[in-house]
Structure 1
Amino acid sequence: MAANFGANSRYATTDTRSWTTPDGQEISYLARRFLPHPENLAGIGSHVVVAGDRLDNIAAAELGDPELWWRVADANRAMLSLELTAEPGTTLRIALPEGVPGMPHV
Structure 2
Amino acid sequence: MTNPIQAMLEAGIVEATDFPPESRYHGIPTRTFIAPDGRAIPYLVRRFAPPPENFATLGFRTVAEGDRLDRIAAETIGNPQGFWLLCDANRAIWPEELEQTGFPLRLTLPEGVPGPEDEG
TM-score range, shorter chain: 0.7 to 0.9
- Distance, in Å, in 2 between the alignment partners of 1:16 and 1:60 is 29
Change (3 A) 1:2 1:95: farther
Task: Give the alignment partner of residue 5 of structure 1, picking from 7, 12, 19.
Answer: 19
Kept in 2, the 8 Å contact 1:42–1:101? The answer is yes
Q: Which runs of 5 or more residues in structure 2 are unaligned?
A: 1-14
2:68 aligned with 1:54: yes
TM-score (norm 1): 0.84
Aligned length: 104
Change (3 A) 1:46 1:2: farther
CA radius of gyration, larger in: 2
In structure 1, what is the equivalent of residue 90 of structure 2? 76
TM-score (norm 2): 0.75
RMSD (Å) for aligned C-alpha atoms = 2.0
Kept in 2, the 8 Å contact 1:17–1:28? The answer is yes
- Higher share of residues assigned helix: 2
Q: How far off its partner does 1:24 sit?
A: 3.7
